[in-house]
Structure 1
């Protein structure tokens, strides 16, 4: 199906039909769209593969060399969190060893973030020299080993732009808004009853819309600064990142199909429509009413086209059921305005893990191609969650990666302008909502060991084999990983 990208009602009808068609293909939950056997060589020559971490989850050294607490520190040290990132993986002191692991694994690129409270401890004013030195040391070590610096969240163009090729202004902007200002489950945990969790301050009915609007204006301002002062000199790129489920109707009724499009408009279109079309989706404006700020003509021009790429964090597929009854309430938050219920059907999934539904990846990428004119895309995060105390034989992570990378390849072959894939995460990290009990890493971190020793999992071998050109199929990949993990482990650590 070919659809010209526009925000017209006709496009909405065609997109709804496409959503239902793809939902039928996704229903078996095992990725019927996914290529069964492939290699890295099947991707375009300049397609980038990497992995990532984030500052608070990996760096540690929370009170060293002038760093001050951030809102993540505040929440992590509250009763609402399990543990904290005071030490985390101690990459602040172990960055050279971790870069060596990245090189051994075969990563093209490493995606990481800057801790502003390390770089600018007072929030504004002078730069902390020791914080600046740390990031320069990390960047230089990566460059020395030929690893591309990719998608550093936030902006430090002047100091690092000569070595960083891609920048992301805000990570998971929709989660920041919904989690931080509507439901209140993530920093700064603002919300109001009855919409959020254990709310103490905030207004879930209006703050999310105000914050989202300001995030988009701030993003556009940062992009304008980069393009005006730095892009011509550094030849880099800049974009925005958001979290995206693949959403499929619970039934083939018109109500559920329309609710699925409405949910996409609230979760994705709320942020991407302004970047592509210069304004919010009509349904968001209609349902939110006066609580949704409006763009001036100048702001609309600034926000529109304020990206070189869009980054997606995708993990799961959900079903959508119509809930238009929520619109009958006079006092609503974003979820009520969306008038749809998201259904997690994970009954048969092993505890602590995500379902493996690779076709959702192609569905999301196809949606962006059809709805938004096929913009340059990067998969910034994708990976399987397991319990941290699970053995190194993480076969479910291999199956997950095999399926989702294969589905990404299917999307690329079908014309998606997707240019890179970053596994989340490179190491087992401190997780805000799970502490050290859950993990996503290719490398196990022994948090009980004072030295925080790293050990490769089966998935590290599998990903390394793929990155170095090996043919991949689901069962074969798991079998070969089991056979070769000990040999590869010894070889990869003999140089340390």
Structure 2
């Protein structure tokens, strides 16, 4: 059987044990921290719909950590903590002329509800064109201040939670896989279809950035994938194969 590697208990580790250039930072997503749910032209996402339907025990992101108003205090806390970088996500929606700043994620699970209603969101190939158009606006508006772009955050987690288990928006799944009583979706095919369209969207946005913006803005672009180290419990062939299979299901797809 496979076993996740445990963190070392040795408290003598410090940042100087890491290689030069290793970046220590923190990360958030827009809906988890911003609040200001109906300010400055913001429109609902699938997470607003999910939370307001009561699926997270009455909690919503309407106020959250109030990061939209407290960003200066948050940045000061990061400075005091000694962080090198801050990765946050932009809330996909109508253009808001008010500002922001560095390691930027373009999509962190908060798809505009209008796109979900119009054509099914990530299960439709139409999403590629819309995501690329959204990414282009961000590159154009913020690229003079942002050098590090992540197109999409944790597509594997998003696909499993939203299209296999149905425990996160857009809550699509089918028996016997779904953790909820799913009324629509297909757990056998839709997680793979969603990730396929996510990867196409990532490729399209990355190609656009490299072609039209990178030379002038001197930035970098990639994608964030959720992972942890999975090692064989023993050197037995069965354990080695199990660890590889676990990594393939988490990362390989």
Q: How does the TM-score come out when normalised to structure 1?
A: 0.42
For 1:40-90, what per-residue CA distance to the aligned partner results, in whole angstroms no more than 9, with x for missing partners? 344344332221221101110101221111001111112321311101111
User: Partner of 2:130 in structure 1?
Assistant: none
* Equivalent residue for 1:68, pick from 37, 43, 54: 43
Q: Aligned in 2, Cα 1:78/1:230: closer, same or farther, shift over 3 Å?
A: same
Structure 1 SS opposite 2:86: strand
Q: Which residue of 2 aligns with 1:273?
A: none
Q: What is the distance in 2 between the residues matched to 1:197 and 1:132?
A: 40
Query: Which of 85, 92, 105 is 1:152 aligned to?
Result: 105
- Structure 2 residue aligned with 1:459: none
Quote how far apart the aligned CAs of 1:253 are.
4.4
Tell which structure's C-alpha radius of gyration is larger.
Answer: 1
Q: Over aligned residues, Cα RMSD in angstroms?
A: 2.3
Deviation at 1:254, TM superposition (A): 2.9
Change (3 A) 1:213 1:51: same
Residue 85 in structure 1 maps to residue 57 in structure 2: no
Whole-angstrom CA distance in 2 between matches of 1:188 and 1:97: 33
Q: Which residue of 2 aligns with 1:269?
A: 252
Aligned to 1:132: 97
Secondary structure at the aligned position of 1:69 is classed as coil
Distance 1:78 1:100, change over 3 A: same
Which residue does the alignment assign to 2:111?
none
Match of 1:49 among 24, 32, 39: 24
Q: CA deviation at 1:30?
A: 5.6
- Paired with 2:218 and 2:153, the residues of 1 have a C-alpha distance of 22
Separation of aligned partners in 2, 1:253 and 1:104: 47
Structure 2 runs not aligned, ≥5 long:
108-134
Q: Partners in 1 of 2:20 and 2:179 — Cα distance?
A: 47
Structure 1 residues 228 and 37, CA, compared in 2 at 3 Å: closer, same or farther?
same
After superposition, the Cα gap between the structure-2 partners of 1:30 and 1:208, relative to the gap in structure 1 and judged at 3 Å, is closer
Q: Distance in 2 between matches of 1:187 and 1:221?
A: 24
Q: Distance in 2 between matches of 1:256 and 1:228?
A: 44
Within a 5 Å distance, the mapping from 1:205-284 to structure 2 comes to 205-249=188-232, 253-270=236-253
- Which of 153, 160, 172 is the aligned partner of 1:190? 172
Q: Distance in 1 between matches of 2:193 and 2:68?
A: 35
Q: For residues 334-369 of structure 1, what are the alpha-carbon distances to aligned partners after superposition, in whole Å with 9 as ceiling and x for unaligned?
A: xxxxxxxxxxxxxxxxxxxxxxxxxxxxxxxxxxxx
Distance in 2, Cα, partners of 1:217 & 1:93? 35
- Residue 96 of structure 1 is matched in structure 2 by 72
Q: What's the CA shift for 1:31?
A: 2.3
- Structure 1, unaligned stretches of length 5 or more? 1-18, 121-126, 140-148, 271-496
Shift of 1:174: 0.4
Instruction: Provide closer, same or farther for how the CA distance between residues 39 and 262 of structure 1 changes in structure 2, counting only shifts above 3 A.
Output: closer
- The yes-or-no answer on 1:174 pairing with 2:156 is yes
Q: Secondary structure of the equivalent of 1:223?
A: helix
Distance of 2:241 and 2:13 partners within structure 1:
36
- Count how many residue pairs are aligned between Structure 1 and Structure 2: 222
